[in-house]
Structure 1
Amino acid sequence: MSSIENTMPPKPASLFTLFSPRLLPATLMLGGGVTLYAVEAYIMATVAPSIVRDIGGLELFSWMTTLFVAAGVLGSITVATRPKGMGLRAVYIAAAILFGAGSLICAAAPAMPALLVGRAAQGYGAGMLSGLAYAFIRFVYPEPLWRKASTLYAAIWGVATVLGPTLGGFFAAGGAWREAFIVLVPLTLVMAVSARWLLPDVADDRAGGKTPLIQIVLLLTAVLLVSIAGTSGHGSYKIVLIAVSILLVTAMVMIERNSDTRLLPFGTAMITDPISRLYLTMFTLMLVLTSDIYIPYFLQTLHGVTPLVSGYLVALVALGWTIGAFFSASFSGRRAAVAIVTGCILETAATASLIPFMATTASFGDLVQLAPAVAAMFLMGFGVGIGWAHLVTRIISIASRVEQDKASAAISMVQSLGGAFGAALAGVIVNGAGLTHPGGIAGSLSAATWLYALMALPGLIAIALSVTIKPASA
């Protein structure tokens, strides 16, 4: 099967064109890979307590997420560092099989160590599938549809924040956590078998070179440490882990800047290069957005909102991301550049506005009282959504042909890094502000105030970076 891009006649770009008979198979395959990664990341948060109650291993609880995230980053890196001559389709097949095998191991795990092996395999396969979605864009779709495809993948992540916990809750409610893994196995087998016919067999057009092992080790170690920090309950321990992680990432960037063997596209380690500012904008957007993980706690503790309702309310962030992505899907040129800047401003302003809306003890007894907080949560996600696909498209379009796979893989990597660092930083802030000591209402008020004040600051960096991004036509 040849590249689909070369068989499509030029015509006005439309989001629905992704689902045309000619493109639908590839769209389902690539979108399905992103969906597996996104949904599985959120299902675990819901079924994890049931797993521990059944097979034990509470002391290893945090590693169920930590290994998945770290392996996912390694998987996205593998897309770009795979053996020379290995095509993207072969990587897709291997990734689907690996994810399915990991799911099977998790489903059959008699104890926590075995389950952690399965989670690592899942994360590695899912990371590859997510990275492949962006790597395949230039081969599957004509260039006018690159932005539309990026919009679709961004929307999938938004939907997953609702779909994942819902599915996880369904299986956890009946104590059927093993079935939550088993149902994924047949799907991954179908994906692996179908890839040969539904995805194009494209040549490996990467430049030759050595694998950047030092940078990979530094980055993975940093991801592991910051992921552990995000699940640790000790404030001082978190700070040390985050500090070491930052040092490791800094060391990796310095090596990237001076080495001929690079993990990231040329220019990523230099702030003066446009591609560097694009990735940094994505990172800061994800870092700020992760402050939403404490919204349900504050809603329940400070405002008397039930757990069920608070869960649906925080889903407004995901809904905003999805609606924002589709709202700006048709933008191009200067409108796309404006959308990126506007999105950064909206996210930053919405995050800061949660200080007066969330850090109070007012009871949200009616819609009028709840409306400002609802609007702020929605706008946090909307801001990311309207600019994300345009950031992705700009990265793919300005990266050199021989570094396209590096550029595509780095998108998933930066997204995961932003989320991991954001979760860890948010934990440091709320613990330092008194969430647990003194705790109670006073501690929650202080934590909410400091969390949304400090987490809005990186948004100012995102705004400053975004205004330097030139339109695609420039």
Structure 2
Amino acid sequence: MTSTEASPADTASVFQLFARPVLPATLMLGGGVTLYAVETYIMATIAPSIVRDIGGLPLLFWVTTLYVAAAVLGSIFVAMRPRGTGLRTVYVAGAVMFAAGSLICGLAPSMPVVLVGRAVQGFGAGALAALSYAFIRFVYPEPLWRKASTLYAAIWGVSTLLGPSLGGLFSDGSDWRHAFMLIVPVGVIMALLGPLLLPAATDDRAAGKTPVPQIALLIAAVILVSLAGTVEATRTKALLIGASIIAAGLMLAIEKRSENRLLPTGAVTLGNPLARVYLIIFTLMLVLTSDIYIPYFLQTLHGITPLESGYLTALVALGWTLAAFFSGTLSGRRARRAIVAGCVLETIAAASLAVFLARDNQGGSLAILSPAVAGMFLMGFGVGMAWAHLITKILRIVEKAEQDKASAAITTVQSLGSAFGAALAGVIVNSTGLVTPGGIEGGVSAAHWLFALMALPGILTVVASLSIRASGDQAEARQAAA
């Protein structure tokens, strides 16, 4: 093929995902991602209402911790399900569990029961999110793989705005229960339609035993780092993060030597391009999660109202969504450049917030605020540029027998990146003035150090993205020849 010829991927359009032959599957898979993403942000909004209504403040941190840990376990189950179990069966189970967990939460008389519901709900949500990637190769021709990944990336971006908005509708009194109860019929309908609208997917996984030690260590790492995000004491946060890193390191060490692997071959060896793609996904999410403190800094340092800060922070999600659709039209060399450009853009944008957001702007001067707003938008835009191409690269590099492992790992790595990012951000701001001395002075210091330090992992994504270009092409070529 000459450089002037268009490949099938060049001519494919994202709108082909909504063509009649694949529309039902697109709606089912997109719906699974939407449930996972939106529910994550709805809960963050209604959690205070739950505590005011039924109590349980000391247990509040487990609401998110259990959900994330169970979601990781659910994504792992997609790859480690019993032999002969089809993806459609797992989809039905995931939708039923999500509905059941939502029902438990909606009827819960106390916080411990809410936690049970969140664990059940999280397992189903994690399975549904992982299935969206696992089904891609069975639903769409290869030229549409990148477009499907683009759609799912856009859903995550939109959900960061939609979730809190929906949560706000159910924040009064006992209305929080409606936020769960409305989801129950959606889950039931998805479970009923799954076998009818999703294609049969051959269980072509390689034979092997369940890697119990790796799974246990991974879940421990997720729980420890999630707990770190809820603790106020900086020293305790650091200890929990350190323990989580040790658990993750042990998991990777066992994974590298074990015959029963949790991850696809090469995923823990940096010399393999696959490992570097997963590293980029992890680090992109880690850096992006620093946005959890943006509303506070907008309100404290720039005199913005809570409502205004919410809409401005949503620009991060808007940037992700717009970039996903823009970048989704690229392929070949331009797609590889988009990965590098996205990593560079997120890193520079995060670093810019260390200067422009970390300002005493009580008067709300637009001249001072505008560069910070642009940095927020571009931080999300950078992730959106790279995301779909990273997912597609994974699906092309990995052998067919390990596709389910690779798909499940995408959701797992994404969740880990967010959890580590939130915990690390908490350690940074608490150590650099947010609490002591606090106020404007402490806020400026905390904002500066947060984004300056969180930009550093972004440099790692840039280096990794440059390193996978040639080696990734070679691996894809070998896979295509096979």
- Classify the TM-score, shorter chain: over 0.9
CA shift digits 1:83-110 (9 cap, x unpaired):
0110000000000000000000000000
Shift of 1:140: 0.3
Change (3 A) 1:364 1:332: farther
Q: Please name the residue that 2:117 is paired with.
A: 118
Q: Please name the residue that 1:467 is paired with.
A: 466
Q: Please name the residue that 2:78 is paired with.
A: 79
Looking at structure 2, the residues matched to 238 and 10 of structure 1 have their Cα atoms a distance apart, in angstroms, of 46
Shift of 1:361: 0.3
Written as runs of structure 1 = structure 2, the 5 A alignment for 1:264-303 is 264-303=263-302
* 2:163 pairs with 1:164: yes
Kindly provide the amino acid, as one letter, of the partner of residue 165 in structure 1. P
What stretches of structure 2 of length at least 5 have no aligned partner?
A: 1-7, 475-482
CA contact (8 A) 1:333 1:473 kept: no
Q: Secondary structure at the match of 2:206?
A: coil
Q: Please name the residue that 1:6 is paired with.
A: none
* 2:238 pairs with 1:223: no
Looking at structure 1, the residues matched to 212 and 363 of structure 2 have their Cα atoms a distance apart, in angstroms, of 52
Shift of 1:11: 9.9
* 2:71 pairs with 1:90: no
CA shift digits 1:288-333 (9 cap, x unpaired):
0011110100111111110000010010000000001001111111
TM-score, normalised relative to structure 2: 0.95
CA contact (8 A) 1:68 1:119 kept: yes
CA contact (8 A) 1:235 1:432 kept: yes
| Cα root mean square deviation, aligned | 1.3
Looking at structure 2, the residues matched to 111 and 385 of structure 1 have their Cα atoms a distance apart, in angstroms, of 39
CA shift digits 1:245-264 (9 cap, x unpaired):
00110111111111110000
CA contact (8 A) 1:56 1:111 kept: yes
Kindly provide the amino acid, as one letter, of the partner of residue 83 in structure 1. P
Q: Please name the residue that 2:420 is paired with.
A: 421
Looking at structure 2, the residues matched to 303 and 151 of structure 1 have their Cα atoms a distance apart, in angstroms, of 34
Q: Which deviates more, 197-206 or 29-38?
A: 197-206
CA contact (8 A) 2:49 2:173 kept: no
CA contact (8 A) 2:9 2:144 kept: no
Q: Which deviates more, 442-451 or 172-181?
A: 172-181
Change (3 A) 1:115 1:74: same
Change (3 A) 1:348 1:11: closer
* 2:327 pairs with 1:312: no
Looking at structure 1, the residues matched to 173 and 125 of structure 2 have their Cα atoms a distance apart, in angstroms, of 26
Q: Which deviates more, 422-431 or 442-451?
A: 442-451
Looking at structure 2, the residues matched to 115 and 175 of structure 1 have their Cα atoms a distance apart, in angstroms, of 14
Looking at structure 2, the residues matched to 444 and 365 of structure 1 have their Cα atoms a distance apart, in angstroms, of 15
Kindly provide the amino acid, as one letter, of the partner of residue 381 in structure 1. G
Written as runs of structure 1 = structure 2, the 5 A alignment for 1:141-152 is 141-152=140-151
Change (3 A) 1:330 1:282: same
CA shift digits 1:324-344 (9 cap, x unpaired):
100111111110110000000
Looking at structure 2, the residues matched to 327 and 202 of structure 1 have their Cα atoms a distance apart, in angstroms, of 31
Shift of 1:367: 3.7
Looking at structure 2, the residues matched to 343 and 307 of structure 1 have their Cα atoms a distance apart, in angstroms, of 30
Shift of 1:470: 2.1
Shift of 1:10: 10
What stretches of structure 1 of length at least 5 have no aligned partner?
A: 1-8
Kindly provide the amino acid, as one letter, of the partner of residue 407 in structure 2. S
Shift of 1:365: 3.0
Looking at structure 2, the residues matched to 295 and 463 of structure 1 have their Cα atoms a distance apart, in angstroms, of 24
CA shift digits 1:39-74 (9 cap, x unpaired):
000000111111011111000011100000000000
Written as runs of structure 1 = structure 2, the 5 A alignment for 1:96-115 is 96-115=95-114
Shift of 1:366: 4.8
Q: Which deviates more, 421-430 or 352-361?
A: 352-361
Change (3 A) 1:162 1:298: same
Q: Please name the residue that 1:450 is paired with.
A: 449
Looking at structure 1, the residues matched to 375 and 213 of structure 2 have their Cα atoms a distance apart, in angstroms, of 42
Shift of 1:360: 1.1
Q: Please name the residue that 2:342 is paired with.
A: 343
Looking at structure 2, the residues matched to 350 and 343 of structure 1 have their Cα atoms a distance apart, in angstroms, of 10
Q: Secondary structure at the match of 1:470?
A: helix
Shift of 1:75: 0.5
Q: Please name the residue that 2:362 is paired with.
A: 363
Looking at structure 2, the residues matched to 43 and 169 of structure 1 have their Cα atoms a distance apart, in angstroms, of 8
* 2:439 pairs with 1:440: yes
Looking at structure 1, the residues matched to 85 and 367 of structure 2 have their Cα atoms a distance apart, in angstroms, of 57
Kindly provide the amino acid, as one letter, of the partner of residue 391 in structure 2. V
Kindly provide the amino acid, as one letter, of the partner of residue 263 in structure 1. L
Written as runs of structure 1 = structure 2, the 5 A alignment for 1:17-416 is 17-173=16-172, 175-363=174-362, 365-416=364-415
Kindly provide the amino acid, as one letter, of the partner of residue 241 in structure 1. L
CA shift digits 1:379-434 (9 cap, x unpaired):
00000000100000000111001000000000000000000000000000000112
Kindly, what percent of the aligned residue pairs are identical? Answer: 65
CA contact (8 A) 1:69 1:123 kept: yes
Looking at structure 1, the residues matched to 363 and 77 of structure 2 have their Cα atoms a distance apart, in angstroms, of 47
CA contact (8 A) 2:36 2:125 kept: yes
Q: Please name the residue that 1:4 is paired with.
A: none
CA contact (8 A) 1:364 1:370 kept: no
Change (3 A) 1:427 1:143: same
Shift of 1:175: 4.1
Q: Secondary structure at the match of 1:172?
A: coil
Kindly provide the amino acid, as one letter, of the partner of residue 25 in structure 1. P
Change (3 A) 1:369 1:263: same
Kindly provide the amino acid, as one letter, of the partner of residue 208 in structure 2. G
